[in-house]
Amino acid sequence: MTKVDRRIRKSQEAIKAAVIELMSEKNFDDITLQDISDKADVSRGTIYLHYVDKYDLLDKLIDGHIKELSEICHSVADLDWKESIVPWFTYLEQHYLFFSTMMASKGAVQFRNRLVEFLNEDFKEEVHLSQARKSGLSEDIILQYVVMSYVGVVEWWIKNEMPHSPEVMSEQVGALIQMNLG
């Protein structure tokens, strides 16, 4: 993997931070590239060097966080539910501004859909191996129930300004998932 020039990385980080900050202030549809370039203190040309438009920027921002969450999932695959969820909630806590902005803005639908799609893939194997399917329940329904419950709890936690620590959330959510997947 090639190392990205420090100036390029700084510009990209400034652009990403600017769009997140702007989204916390106003609707994504109302944000212009000029707003982003002003907030990031870069030229519009610099933005175009890295992104096709603001939608491409949002896509890449979401992709980056989904990729990080995916890497976390793969790194904790051998742990039990409760232990494997701690790094997830810790990551969400560390990137609170991004996740709270995504859940409060119009970008939320796009982000939520991508998160659900990712979790469907990630939980599919666990549901397939679960004891719950022996009760005659459809794997598809079990999967949707677990994924949507998980997303709903994450949304609640973030929208309520994280009233519990990542460890408490992991303990609670892990126990609930374990009960549902037996």
What's the predicted TM-score (pTM) here?
A: 0.85
> Chunked in runs of 10, what are the mean pLDDT values of the chain (182 residues)?
76 94 89 95 93 93 93 85 87 94 76 91 79 75 90 93 95 86 68
Name the residue among 106, 112, 84, 113 with its Cα closest to residue 181. Answer: 84
Q: What pLDDT was estimated at residue 39? A: 96
CATH homologous superfamily for the domain 1-51: Homeodomain-like (1.10.10.60)
Domain positions in the chain are 1-51, 62-181
Q: What pLDDT was estimated at residue 60? A: 94
Q: What pLDDT was estimated at residue 4? A: 66
Q: How is domain 62-181 classified at the architecture level of CATH? A: Orthogonal Bundle (1.10)
